[in-house]
Amino acid sequence: MTQPIIAVEHVTKRVADSTGTLTILHDIDFALAPRESVAIVGASGSGKSTLLSIIAGLDTPSEGTVRLDGIDLFALDEDRRAEVRAAKVGFVFQSFQLMANLTALENVMLPLELQGRSDARARATAMLQRVGLGERLGHYPRVLSGGEQQRVALARAFVVEPELLLADEPTGSLDFATGETVMELMFALNRERGTTLVLVTHDRSIAQRCDRQIRIEAGRLAAAALAA
């Protein structure tokens, strides 16, 4: 049997607030196969983004753990988790998260440079050409449209050839037509690179394009059915 790329094992997340202890996630348990595409769906405040952060090892569960390609993330210290993320995970955010003082090319080169890759410029250039921004290499984020910024973010995520791509509402800041273009590109890159995709979205049409949907309701796993 193929080892899951992600195994979320009985994850619970609690936080303290002024009224006491709030449970954000309750005993979440599921596994994702390599190359699978999964949409995590649910109402605002249901715990979707918290779950994504825990899958990434950016937030820690109160109980349970996450295994990434067999590695128990929460048996590692923060520095080692960061190394695993850098080697295996790409991120795409609603707010793009580009470095404002870096050009498009420099933004995409950055994760490669952090890995010590000597071919960072060539790889980043090729990736920006793949997402249709070959003429925008020297442009800073402030002069790029929202759709162009998200394409830079896609290039940055995929250029390190991650095993896992985590996307949190990637079209949330874009108009419908631009969002459609960005999602077409994301799914195309995902197929080309053989990446496992975990996508948090409110958009039903986007969710239905994934292999599977996982619904979170009030912090609980409501369903993990095949998408229609």
Q: Is the pLDDT of residue 228 over 60?
A: no
User: And the tokens for 216?
Assistant: 């979170």
Mean pLDDT (whole number) for 207-220: 92
Tell me the pLDDT tens digit for each residue of 4-50.
999 999 999 999 988 889 999 999 999 999 999 999 998 888 899 99
DSSP 8-state code for residue 74 = G
Nearest of 104, 183, 111, 110 to residue 148 by alpha carbon: 104
- Rounded CA-CA distance 210/208 in Å is 5
- Rounded CA-CA distance 80/183 in Å is 32
pLDDT band at 226 (very low <50, low <70, confident <90, very high): very low
pLDDT band at 223 (very low <50, low <70, confident <90, very high): low
Name the pTM for this structure: 0.86
Mean pLDDT (whole number) for 121-126: 96
- Rounded CA-CA distance 190/177 in Å is 20
pLDDT band at 204 (very low <50, low <70, confident <90, very high): confident
Please say whether the beta carbons of 92 and 157 come within 8 A: yes
| Pairing mode of beta strands 37-41, 212-217 | parallel
Instruction: Give the type of residue at 74.
Output: F
φ/ψ region of 20 (left if φ > 0, alpha if ψ in -120 to 50, else beta) reads: left
The label of the residue with tokens 């874009």 reads 174
User: And the tokens for 85?
Assistant: 């993320």
pLDDT band at 189 (very low <50, low <70, confident <90, very high): confident
Residue 227: its pLDDT value, please? Answer: 43
Mean pLDDT (whole number) for 89-107: 92
Backbone φ and ψ of 100, nearest 5°: -65, -30
Q: How many CB atoms lie within 10 A of CB 143?
A: 10
- Rounded CA-CA distance 75/201 in Å is 29
Instruction: Among 3.50.50.60, 3.40.50.300, 3.20.20.70, 3.40.50.150, name the CATH number for the domain at 35-42+77-226.
Output: 3.40.50.300
Q: 162 versus 1: which is more confidently predicted?
A: 162
